[in-house]
Amino acid sequence: MDKLEKYSFIIQNILQEYAQFSQDKDVETELIFDPIRHHYQIVNVGWKNDNWIYGCILHLDIKNNKIWIQHNGTEIEIGEELVKNGVPKSDIVIGFHPPFKRQFTEYSVN
């Protein structure tokens, strides 16, 4: 298994595990995986009472053989989960941080 396949597999497993914890029967938790273009998301969609619910919970991409955390709307440290699953910190980018702030994280700057 090459690096790209390995990272795709790791991301999908983590997101599938996290999505299982959704307990709202009125709102669907959708897993959106595009292993061709390397985009991976968890999205909530549905009606709660009279309110439309739609929102991205987690969004990860693989770009230039690195995992980019584009959005994390959870309390879990997705970077730490990736590291626990064998991804080196040098292959993780916190994409939602401005580029100048990335140097102050334990992860890659780009």
Q: Is residue 74 part of a domain?
A: yes
**Inside any domain, residue 7:** yes
Residue-wise pLDDT tens digits, 46-104: 999 999 999 999 999 999 999 999 999 999 999 999 999 999 999 999 999 999 999 99
* Partners of residue 54 on adjacent β-strands: 45
Instruction: Please tell me the total count of domains within the chain.
Output: 1
- pLDDT tier at 109 (50, 70, 90 boundaries)? very high
Residue 108 resides in a domain: no
Asked whether residue 86 is assigned to any structural domain, the reply reads yes
Q: Is residue 109 part of a domain?
A: no
DSSP string over 68-109: EEEEE-SSS-HHHHHHHTT--GGGEEETTS-HHHHTTSSSB-
* Pairing of β 92-94 and β 39-48: unpaired
Residues of the domain holding 57:
3-102
Q: Which residues pair with 106 in a beta bridge?
A: none
**DSSP-derived pairing of the beta strands 39-48 and 51-63:** antiparallel
**CATH number of the domain that residue 76 is part of:** 3.30.310.110
- Residue 75 domain flag: yes
pTM: 0.93
Residue 110 inside a domain? The answer is no
